[in-house]
Structures are given as structure tokens and as C-alpha cells.
Structure 1
């Protein structure tokens, strides 16, 4: 890749520094030219941080414009890709407008808060011949890639069940920091916000969902959405899935674990950001467990966001330059959203939910 694509970043809050990090790490093919946030001060701070990181690499950059109105940013013809890191309830609108303005889009998870919006995002990308990817960055982890390869090679034999456990702590201070967090209109609860990464990995390994039944409630946090929820899934291949997501674990984050169990194999991945293989056991004896751990595992990152944004950006840049689908498509991003919305529907009705899910939104929980 010898062309440098020009980026605009919309949203300069909690997750935005991972996008800046990814841009810096891909500076040979990526250049940040615009930032946007309702709070200009946040954009200016991010601009300063981007400059500092590139100065450390002795890379000179051009001027970076700062905007408060994202529509003004989208009017620029020189921007190739827009990254969207705003709060969840705005993802669909901004993505659709960016695609219509001729921009390729990287959007944070969840891609949308309704099936209708997710579908419109996917269809708009197709209509305007633009690329769309969703930040399920943990798919790029070496541990997860190792597991995915084992699934594709059928080393598990018949899949029996899989478990996604998210045992975290998000206290009231976390929710007070931003008024949109935990609301049905702009966020959803723990499963949509914190749990969706692991839910995405579970369905990626186990396959399409046939139906699910769920229970969820708000136990401790002063929010509209759930602070703890659980679901039992039946996949189309007959296997069973279990999802457990909590923001109430005392006194701090305990674990995020993905476990896959089959006729001839067991794999369990944990760590701060699904970065450590805990168990790797297969009947075929093709590899040594300790050697696999040594090859795939890496030290816990500073945050649960991990290091996946950098390879996600690298893949998307290559997809744009070579006119191919990104590794994670809009259709891929929709699958995890659909599961969480099905959990919400089951919670509301007290009944199992069949797939595919007809249109449902977090807003339907307010009725």
C-alpha cells in the first residue's frame, strides 16, 4: 500500500484515543485531517495528542481542522474515511449521512440500536458503493484468531456449547460521567455496551442463532437499561450458548471469558481483553497447549479495549485501496446487535425469541 488515505474522526470521548492510536500506527497509509466533537475542547486535546504521538515518530503532519458540527466535516471532498466514535444512539444517523456524502465508514460498536437502522446502514453502503466496518476489534486478537482457525478446521468435532462471560464493574460514577449511558434512547444496558464484544465472538465461533430466552434486570445502578443479564441460546447447528453480562461485580472488573466446548476440543480464553488462552485441549494432538499459549498469548493491555483497533484500521485501509470487503462487514456487526435486541425482547415478553428477529429497538423497552 503506497497511498495515504485521509481520515475524519467524529467523537472525541472515551474510546477516541484508540482510534488516534490506530491512525498513528498506520501513519504510512493514514492521515488525520479533521476532528469533530460537540465539546471543542475534547477535539483540541485529541489533536494535540495525535501531534505528540507522531512527533515521537518524527512524522510531520498537515493542519487538522476541528469542527463542532459533523455535517460541516462531511462536506469536505478530501476526506476518504470517517471514523465514528460518538455515543451509540447517534451511530446510525451519522454513518448513513457519511456514506451518502461519499465517505467510507468505520463505526464503533454497537453499530445501531435497532434492526431497522442496522439494515439501512448496510443498504446505504451498498447503494453508494462505500465500505463499512464495525469496531469488533477483538476478532483480530492472536488468541481469537487461533480459536477461529480451530473452528474452521473442525477440530472441535460436534460443537456442544459455548459461554460468553462478562463479569465487570461499572459504578454510578461511570454512568454519571455521561448522561446518555444506560439510557434506552442512546445506549441500552450492560449487554449492549460492555457485553457486545464477547457476544460477537460467541456467535462468530458457534454460528447463527435459532432462538434464545433471557432474563435481565437493573439491580444496583441508577440506569434505565439492565446492569445484569443472562441468556440461553440454541444455535442452528444444535449447540447451546450461554451469555452472562454484569456491571455489578464487586469491587472491580473480574474477568471476560470466552469458552468453546466440543466433542473433541475445549478452549477457554480470558484476560483483560480476551488476550490469554487459558485452556487449549484437542483430541487430535496436533499441537502442544503450552506452545500455543506461548505463541498466542500476550500481556494484559492497559484497558479492556485491547490492541485490536490498529489491525482493524490496517485491514480497512487495505479494503478501501484494493476494493474488497473489510474483514468485519456491516452484516457481521448486525449479528451481535440482533442477539442483544432479542435478549431485550425476551426480557420484555417473558418468552423465547426466534431468529431472524423482526425489527426491534432499545426504544421498544420504554413502552
Structure 2
């Protein structure tokens, strides 16, 4: 049994609690938050702390710590956990600064602990189908990809907490909402070589962008188009990922990119393609992504391997987003090194 602890008992912590409780060979051992009121949950067998160092020092049986605090604090807490020789699962984005993300990977490596980043959309059934086809080479030479996030986050959402929408602790639509889609785009298409972008704060009273658009060129020569917004009225409209190649066109869409809209692959008959679409419709969400992340960490410890979503995987979309924001600010194309 692998004992998990959670630090940061805000909204996202509920998903982690549920995931740990559903996962095989996982046990919620302790929780931590500097606000005692957030520790008042009905879990009598779970230890509760207001200080992370104290929790780790008093409980050597904690194997993994899930970091669920505001994004700007991820690096500092990762160092504390790594220095205590505990494994780490950190919420997305892993950091808001490139140096912090690189330091987090260094902290884990220096202390011999595993670092996983929460990018749960990789485990969605439709995405898994697409990944399998790409691994088979079904697309031939890649042409381009498109990632679209047209969502609503109204002012009340940002006003729920003072850190939301800030540059220091939260980030904007790219870091918070579109980062999942950018992770998928990079996972499927490979690394980006350069980006040209624009971003703006149009409707929300926040420090960061609420709408952004970018064109990227991947190192394999393919192009990509990114559109991300939290300004859509009056509710979430669309999240989609489309990939086009010499011998395939696939689009996964819906409000949360769970359904296959287009499945045109050379050699796949129309009735077979419709069957694939219907299979996904029957179970569009699959096993919850957070549960997959927890179970993968359990197996990674048992098998002594890296997690499926490593620190390096978490670093890649952060680097891309920072490059997009740099291009938007300077008005110039940014080459990603």
C-alpha cells in the first residue's frame, strides 16, 4: 500500500482525494493546508497538518505528496518534499517560470525521487485511440494540428480567490485552461521549434491574458494553430484537437474534447470509423484521469520506473506557453531552444 499526502486543500484537492480512494493500493494518509478551516473534512483516519515540514518529519510512512497549492508555489514546495526524500505528484502547470520548472526536475533527480505532473487528458479514451494511430504511423507525413479552447471563466471565477488571474501565482488562459491541450499537442506532434503569437486581456479584470492565438512550427516541419479563450459567452463552447497528415484527418471535440468528430484514416472503411466513434460515445470519459495518474505512480514505485507524465513532460508546455507570451509581448517570432 502506497501512502499519499495532499498539500493544499483547495478545489482541486477533492479530485485527488477521490482518485486516491478509488485507486488500487493507494491510501490517503495525511492532508496539509496553512488554513485550518480547509482541514475540516470528514476523514477521521487521515492525519491533518498546517505545516508541510512537520507533516513530513512526523510521518516517515508517507511515500508520495500531491502538491495542489497555487501554481506559483509549486517549486518551493517541491523542494521541501524532495529534500524529505518523498515522491511527488504536482498539479498543472508544474510552474509559471521556466527556471522553477527546471529546478523542480533537479530537486527530484538530486534526491532520487519520482516527479509526476498532472496532465490527465492523456488518458481519455478518444486521445488514447488517436495516440495509438499516430504511433502506428497512420498519418504518414504530418501537415498541421489545431488546438482550440473556447471556454467561459467569468469574473466571479477569478474573484473567488485573490491569487487567481495573477502573474505570480496563477497565470492566464494558456497556463490554466489550454495547457492540457498544449500538452496533448506536444505529446502527439513532437517538440516545437518556433512560435508567433498574440495575446490580450479583453474582458476579465485580471493581470494575465484571457484570450490568445498562436501559430507554431514543429521541429518535424509541421505547423500548428492554437486558439485559447476564457471569454466565451455564456458558457464553455468547445475544446478540440485536430491533427492532419498525408493519410489521415482526425478531430476530437465537444465541450471537453471527449468525442471523435472526424476519423478519416486511409484503409479504414466508413462503417469501421463510425464504430470507433460509437465506442467512444459509450464511454467518453473513461477512468478519471487523476485516478490514472495516482495508479501510475503506484506502479512506477512498484516497478521502479518513471511515471508516464514526467517532470520533463510537464516542462514542455510551460516552455511553449512562456514562448507564446514572449512572442505576444515583443511582436516577434520566438525560436524555442
Task: Please give the TM-score of this superposition, normalised by the length of structure 1.
Answer: 0.88
Cα shift readout 1:181-224 (whole Å, capped 9, x = no counterpart): 11111111111111100111111111110000110010010000
- Does residue 270 of structure 2 align to residue 289 of structure 1? no
Cα shift readout 1:97-147 (whole Å, capped 9, x = no counterpart): 111111100000000111111111112211111111000001011111111
**Counterpart in the other structure of 2:31:** 35
CA distance in 2, matches of 1:274, 1:252: 15
Q: How many residues were matched structurally? A: 335
CA distance in 1, matches of 2:61, 2:21: 19
Q: 2:47 aligns with which of 40, 45, 65?
A: 65
CA distance in 2, matches of 1:218, 1:355: 24
CA distance in 2, matches of 1:87, 1:29: 28
**Counterpart in the other structure of 1:101:** 84
**Counterpart in the other structure of 2:305:** 324
Question: CA 1:298/1:93 → structure 2, altered by over 3 Å: closer, same or farther?
Answer: farther
CA offset at residue 291 of structure 1?
A: 1.4
CA RMSD of aligned residues (A): 1.6
Partner-residue secondary structure (3-state), 1:202: helix
**Counterpart in the other structure of 1:22:** 19
**Counterpart in the other structure of 1:165:** 148
Q: 2:105 aligns with which of 119, 122, 142?
A: 122
Moved more, 67-76 or 335-344: 67-76
**Counterpart in the other structure of 2:4:** 7
Q: 1:262 aligns with which of 218, 242, 245?
A: 245
**Counterpart in the other structure of 1:314:** 295
**Counterpart in the other structure of 2:119:** 136
Aligned pairs for 1:137-216 (under 5 A) are 137-216=120-199
CA offset at residue 299 of structure 1?
A: 5.3
CA distance in 1, matches of 2:304, 2:83: 18
Partner-residue secondary structure (3-state), 1:23: helix
Partner-residue secondary structure (3-state), 1:221: coil
Mark the runs of 5 or more structure 1 residues left unpaired by the alignment.
Answer: 52-61, 357-367
CA distance in 1, matches of 2:288, 2:257: 11
The answer (yes or no) to whether the contact 2:74–2:94 under 8 Å persists in 1 is yes
Task: Please give the TM-score of this superposition, normalised by the length of structure 2.
Answer: 0.96
